[in-house]
Amino acid sequence: MNSVIKYFTDIYKGVRSLWAGMRVTGKYFVRPGEIVTEQYPENRATLKMEDRFKGEVIMPHDKNNQHQCTGCGVCELNCPNGSIEIITKKVPNEDGKMVRVIDKHIYHLSMCTFCELCIKTCPFNALAWGQDFEHAVFDRSKLDKVLNKPGSSLKKKEAKS
C-alpha cells in the first residue's frame, strides 16, 4: 500500500513543482512591462554611453586644433601588442632650434585590447577614451587611425604664475 501512496504523492509533488515553474513564466507573460531588450539602432539618438566607456583611444584636441602629445613614445612602449606607432619629425622652433614633434600618432584599433595602459602611462594626458563604439568597417585598413588631426600642433604650456 505504501508504494501506491508513494506513487500518487510523487505525481502530486511533480505536478506541483511543474506548476510553480509555469507560474514564473506565466507571470512574465502577463507583465510585458518587464521587457529589457535594448532596441539598438532605434535608440541611437538617446543612447548615452558611460563617461568611462572604452570605445577607442582618441587624442583630444582643443578649439585651436592643439593637442598635448609631444611624441615621447611612452604609449608605444607600454602597449602590450603594438597597436600604437609613433612617427616623429624634426621642425625648427621659434629660436631656430630643431625640436622633435609628433608627425603621426598611428593607432591600430584592430589590434587594441583596451587595456588602458597607454592612457594611464601618458605623462602629458594626451590620450583619452572615446565613446564611439560603431567600429564595423568592410576593410581592415580603415581601422588604422591617425590620432593627431592634420595641421594640429602641440599645445603651449601655460606660463607658471
User: Footprint of another protein on this chain (CB under 8 A)?
Assistant: 11, 13-14, 17-18, 20-26, 28-29, 32, 34-37, 39, 50, 52-54, 78, 80, 113-117, 120-121, 129
The H-or-E segment that residue 107 falls in is strand 98-108
CB of 93 to another protein, least distance (A): 28
Q: Which is nearer to another protein, 26 or 142 (CB)?
A: 26
- For residues 25 and 141, which CB has a smaller minimum distance to another protein in the complex? 25
We find the least distance from the C-beta atom of residue 72 to another protein, in angstroms, to be 13
Nearer to another protein, 9 or 65 (CB): 9
Distance from C-alpha of 79 to C-alpha of 82, rounded to nearest angstrom: 6
CB of 54 to another protein, least distance (A): 4
Q: What angle do CA 38, 43, 45 make, to 5 degrees?
A: 150
**Both ends of the chain: CA-CA distance in Å?**
98
Shortest separation between residue 81's beta carbon and another protein, angstroms = 9
Cell of 57: 583611444
Q: Which three cell numbers stand for residue 141?
A: 585598413
Q: What H or E segment, with its residue span, contains residue 119?
A: helix 117-121
Residue with smaller CB distance to another protein, 62 or 116:
116
Cell of 55: 570605445
